[in-house]
Structure 1
Amino acid sequence: MSLSSFSIRLALAGLLCASTAAQAADRPAALKALEEQGLSIVGEFDAPGGLKAWGAYSGNQALAIYNLPDGQHMMVGTMIDAKGEEVRPAGLDELVQPAIAKDMLGKLEKSRWIKDGDDKASRVVYVFTDPNCPYCMQFWQMARPWVESGKVQLRHIMVGILAPSSSLKSAAILAAKDPTKALNEHSLAMLKDRSAGVKGLDSIPSDIEADLTRNEDLMMGWDLRATPAMVWQDEQGRIQMQTGASPDIAERVFGPR
């Protein structure tokens, strides 16, 4: 079972986790079981109804893990009030969102990416890009006003998921003397003719192959299944994700012009 499906099942089903008497570092033993299955535990906070809870996350999804009164069980799920409405604990996002942002941005920063835009840009948008994806090229074109004005820097994380030639083309762009120039030229050519653009390498150097594999693992680990896939930090410091390149998403991804 994948981490993504595990976290969704937790949120929807309200999984009960029985703990043992043993504890480590004052944490209930049930938390260790959840950590072993992929959740990241951040810390404890006060929840509604007099409960204590632990904040956790999977990917960019924040979860509350509630301590039950008997001290022997914990529950992950949705809290409902007297009106039947979902209650999102006020302390959850305050505790967990900074940890999510730090974790995800750290992983993105360490990936192999191609810079497109000013280093002083107020917003950085990471975008998983496949060289055979026409929508990636449309996204590249859509971003031009923000990139050229210095407001946004794109960081293209190259992947090769759409066709057998995708990895070869991504490798060619990454191996270029000026990868930014190579990607820009490829994007312009593809916008005019989808059969145009960069010629793929005959074989991929081992270091680039390893980087492409890590990039794709990062993308799939966050359940991003299509390109372009964008990840950025919004004005409130929260991590946002978006796939696709429809014009209506421009201001959400890039901010106001």
Structure 2
Amino acid sequence: MESLFCCPLCLGNLERSEGRYHCSSGHSFDVASAGYTHLLPANRKHSKNPGDDKEMVAARAAFLERGHYAPLLSALCAAVLDQVTASSPVLLDSGCGEGYYTAGLHNALTHSGRQPRTAGIDISKFALRRAAKRIPQGEFAVASVYRLPLAARSVDLVTNIFSPLAAEEFARVLRPGGLFCYVVPSARHLWEMKEILYPVPYENPVKREDYPGFDWVGAEQVRYGLHLDRPEDIMALFRMTPYAWKTPREGIERLSSLSQIDTQIGFDIHLYRRE
């Protein structure tokens, strides 16, 4: 079966057979028992197991499964269904994580009568194990967003949700007229949590960017309040954010002592059309 992925070594088309991917140049990549493959060459890895570890992935998956970010998924699906018209669209989720949004989009497209072909890439093998289980018919690979293992003009929809942005690569793999969905936090996303973490909280910078090769279509806003009454959910949410890497110990201790919290949630879904 012809794969959506291409060979990361020679850029040739990959074929998928039982348990492996292979190209006409003789390069071969095993499919793990969990259903994903590894398309990140060793010389591009910065650690033995890059990306989120097993515990971080499990905590995020549990948080998302409890529906705390369901309004975002619903708005994302609505935007995609409104903008993507292909009957058999190719979807790439760049930085797909454990596949919560990937599966939601795949299922929404399927239920609308489309026949999507879905791929996801991430640098965490622990996340991809879960993503591959969510969509057994999809294709998932350890790979870099900055060197996507996909052919030029082979994708109808690229989603980028809280992941590194590689606009040039997205433009390369998208077909003309293809859609790029980019999700970013609003100015006061998690404001009440930040009031606990920092003596002087700050708003997130909010600015629409223009990217070469893309026309900005518009943005969908998602705003709601979130009540958490499980300490494990509070800390899981914290660890899903960049604050986990730069918050002073005192702030983390204040947050971890809470049994509940109410905070604002805000996202902007920016939509771009490939020229």
TM-score normalised according to structure 2 size: 0.23
Higher strand share: 2
Q: More helix by proportion, 1 or 2?
A: 1
TM-score (norm 1): 0.24
Higher-Rg structure is 1
